[in-house]
Amino acid sequence: MTTTTTSPASRPRIDWTRPVLWLFAAVLILLILLPLSWLAVFAFTDKGRHPTLQNFVTLFSNPDFLDPLLTTAIIATTSALICCIVAAPISWLVSRTDMPGRQTIRALVTASFVTPPFLGAVAWELLAAPNSGLLNQLYRLFAGEDADPLFNIYSMTGIIFVISCYTFPFVFVLVANALDTMPGELEDASAILGGNAWTTARRVTIPLALPALVAGALIAFLQAMTLFGSPAILALPAGFHTMTTKIWSLFQYPPKLELAAAAAVPLLVLTVLLLQGQKALLGRRGYSVIGGKYGAPRRVELRGWRWAALGFCLLVLLNPVFLPYLALLNAAFSPNATTLVTPSTATLHNIVFVFTELSSTQLALKNTVILGTATATIGTILALVIAYVTTRKVIAGHRVLGFLATAPVAVPGIVLGVGLFLSYTRPPFVLYGTLWILLLAFLTINLPSAYQQLQAAFATIHPELEEASRILGATRLQALCQITAPLLRTGVIATWCFIFIGVMRELSAAIVLFTSQTKVLSVLIYDLNEGGDLAAIAVLGIAMLVITFAVVLAVNRIPMSGGNAGARLRNG
């Protein structure tokens, strides 16, 4: 559907899709390889650009770097584990059972995904700062004035908790999608052959959902590893560094770009190993679950457990959604960010300040919306084409393309920011100081998850459907438009929203690449946090959430050609 701009080939012999695909490949190579090459150059050279390994020697002989590396490993592993433990049961409940309020739970998970991690971190500061936090104040009402705090968000546990709150939706989306599209017949077959519920789950459902869960765990690990927003807000008061905050501190004047580039290398190596591990684990098994001949999955009846299940989901979602949103709302109307608002103390002062006095508000709002829309549109098209190429193995070297599209996931946004900075501050591409460099950064950062998502969507659509169409005389483009595109509609819209939200969430590259005229909301919020202006953050954060929800809702209502075909197929 995105390729409809090229005119359909009049004669079946000439296949215009190939040159177009090569063009996309070239764009991708430029997009990814240029900043990565600059990073490599800086990691392996000294100030005079003479080759050296000194950066790595400095790095690995210094506890100032080894400690953050260990901290990051602990945070990433624990967060990924927590994300899977929380997301897997919720996605199963939502997708495969008759639990009440399934749509509401989905919406709430989306809400936690939409919440930028740095905003969540600030909200949890309001809730669980050891002394002023609302929850700790509440606890002291019962436990006495001098009781030790119940929660301390400025700690390793606190950071892991906040990261998990805003990373588990990644796992949820992948697993729930896999479960949604799983054919009921396979489970029915197991049941008919005498398998009880547990056997069916063990032999059919779990193996079919496994790729999604593993992919989810991987994404969660990488997200937690490269996340800058939450640690930037919580790690400094907690008194330690993660890799990303350490790398950020290397940009302090005078910037030590060589060390920063070198510090990214272990993260890159680790990611490559993990991706290889994922491949080894899943092997060559095929996981196509949408074909022409399957029906909708059957829902498990929970009977008496229905409400308990809903209670569990709501309890989990208290943490990323209800409590933080309440804390932000409270701070927005409170004269003092962590005093509970009463009708007599409620004030509009913070809102007036943000929208009439704060001079960067309008500019940041405008830039953010422009960048979000542009990145989401371009990114979806790019990811769609790459996913098509790699799943259908259309051109030679498709594996390399797949790798390239996934590679940025290994590069912390902040380091990618430096790579882009190095690439686009010199001819032929002088983009620093314009929105273009931010567009490129956001595109590159969001490409891996967009690609993964669309690739997963493609992988679940068996090529037999396209093949059938082509056997019946359609060109590749016609087959794509008439068969594949309608089936992908949900995936494409989800990916668009995914990228848009990704742009709203993105802080790490923006913090390196912004100038005063290209400021975005995330950077503005970070700057406000630096000065401790929590109430202003609450107001801006709420505005940001409202915009994101409005855009996501609007996009989901866009009618697309053959939009109902997918639904018909699934229901049929």
Partner 1 sequence: MRKPISRRDVLKGSAALAVGTVFASPARAAAPEPVAITPDLVAAATKEGKLVFYSSMDLPVGEKLGKAFEAAYPGITVQIERSGSERLFQRVAQEFDSNIHAADVVNSADASHFIPWKKSGWLMPFVPEDVAKHFPDNYRDPDGMAVTTRLWLSSIAYNTNLVKAEDAPKSFADLLDPKWVGKMVKGHPAYSGTIMTTTFQIVRELGWPYLEKLAKQRVMQVQSSTDPPKKLSLGERAVMADGNEYGIVLLKEAGQPVEPVYPTEGTPTISGPTGIFAGAPHPNAAKLFQAWLHTRETQQFFVDFTGQYSLHAQVQPKAGRRKLSDIRLMKEDPAGVEAMTEEIKTRYARLFRV
Q: At its nearest, how many Å lie between partner 1 and the CB of residue 166?
A: 22
Q: At its nearest, how many Å lie between partner 1 and the CB of residue 225?
A: 19
Nearer of residues 433 and 563 to partner 1, judged by Cβ: 433
Nearer of residues 276 and 515 to partner 1, judged by Cβ: 515
DSSP state at residue 408: G
Residue 260 contacts residue 251 (beta carbons within 8 Å)? yes
Task: Establish whether the linkage from the previous residue to 448 is cis, with ω within 30° of 0.
Answer: no
Residue 267, sorted as left (phi over 0), alpha (psi -120 to 50) or beta, turns out to be: alpha
Q: How far apart are CA 337 and CA 327, in angstroms?
A: 9
In this structure, the number of other CB atoms found within 10 A of the CB of residue 1 comes to 18
Query: Measuring CA to CA, how many Å separate 8 from each of 68, 385, 488?
Result: 54, 16, 20
Q: Which residues contact 183 (CB under 8 A, 6 or more apart)?
A: 289, 290, 291, 294, 295, 297
Nearer of residues 38 and 221 to partner 1, judged by Cβ: 38
Nearer of residues 103 and 516 to partner 1, judged by Cβ: 516
Q: At its nearest, how many Å lie between partner 1 and the CB of residue 525?
A: 12
Nearer of residues 277 and 532 to partner 1, judged by Cβ: 532
Nearer of residues 15 and 67 to partner 1, judged by Cβ: 67
To the nearest 10°, report the CA torsion of 112, 558, 361, 340: -40
Q: At its nearest, how many Å lie between partner 1 and the CB of residue 541?
A: 16
Residue 522 contacts residue 504 (beta carbons within 8 Å)? yes
To the nearest 10°, report the CA torsion of 501, 85, 488, 106: -60
H or E segment and range at residue 309: helix 306-317
Q: Which alpha helices (DSSP H) does 97-133 contain, by range?
A: 102-114, 117-128
Query: Measuring CA to CA, how many Å separate 272 from each of 347, 420, 488?
Result: 51, 21, 28
Nearer of residues 193 and 352 to partner 1, judged by Cβ: 352
By CB under 8 A, name the binding residues for partner 1.
64, 129-132, 154, 235-237, 239-241, 249, 251-255, 336-338, 353, 357-360, 363, 421, 425, 432-433, 515-517, 527-528, 530-534, 536
Nearer of residues 176 and 507 to partner 1, judged by Cβ: 507
**Residue type for 280, please?**
A
Q: At its nearest, how many Å lie between partner 1 and the CB of residue 130?
A: 8
- Structure tokens that stand for 254 in this block: 């005078």
In this structure, the number of other CB atoms found within 10 A of the CB of residue 345 comes to 12
Nearer of residues 232 and 290 to partner 1, judged by Cβ: 232
Nearer of residues 58 and 360 to partner 1, judged by Cβ: 360
How far is residue 90 CA from its own chain's centroid? 18
Nearer of residues 236 and 543 to partner 1, judged by Cβ: 236
Q: At its nearest, how many Å lie between partner 1 and the CB of residue 97?
A: 43
- Structure tokens that stand for 462 in this block: 């068996």
| Nearest C-alpha neighbor of 410 from the set 378, 458, 445, 451 | 445
- Structure tokens that stand for 328 in this block: 């932000």
Q: Over the Cα atoms of the chain, what is R_g?
A: 24
Nearer of residues 19 and 237 to partner 1, judged by Cβ: 237
Q: How far apart are CA 379 and CA 402, in angstroms?
A: 15
How many CA atoms, within 13 angstroms, populate the side-chain half-sphere of residue 539?
21
Nearer of residues 481 and 537 to partner 1, judged by Cβ: 537
Question: Which residues are registered as beta bridge partners of 430?
Answer: 425
Residue 562, sorted as left (phi over 0), alpha (psi -120 to 50) or beta, turns out to be: left
Q: At its nearest, how many Å lie between partner 1 and the CB of residue 532?
A: 3
Q: Which residues contact 532 (CB under 8 A, 6 or more apart)?
A: none
